[in-house]
Amino acid sequence: MDGKTLARIGAIVFVAVAITATVLELTREPEPQSGIVSAPASAGSSKDGPARRELRRCQELGEAATRDANCLAAWSENRQRFLGTEPERQ
């Protein structure tokens, strides 16, 4: 056998394997989802404090919260509590 024929046989075998793998993948049954489902926390949770409720309200406002003075104050307080920084003096 010469090199040209061997290359053609190799190409045919490669294509056949690729087609077989594709058919097997397409006919596989989808795996069932795991039982773990992530759900958002309820908005009225009893263990939420007033600061948490205010942050949730601001989250629901969306872009309008950037113009709400109460939201700006709540974010500032939350940032200070989280980062442990002093408030900025203006």
Greater model confidence, 47 or 1: 1
**Cβ distance 58 to 68 under 8 Å?**
yes
If you average pLDDT over residues 72-87, what whole number do you get?
A: 85
Amino acid 81: pLDDT = 86
Q: Which two tokens stand for residue 30?
A: 């989808």
Confidence label for 88 from pLDDT (cuts 50, 70 and 90):
low
Helices (H) and strands (E) in the chain, counts: 3, 0
Each residue's pLDDT tens digit, 11-68: 999 999 999 999 999 999 888 776 666 555 555 555 678 888 999 999 998 888 899 9
Distance CA 75, CA 55 (A): 7
What are the domain boundaries of the chain?
Answer: 48-90
Distance CA 86, CA 19 (A): 64
Amino acid 47: pLDDT = 65
Coil, strand or helix at 66:
helix
pTM exceeding 0.85: no
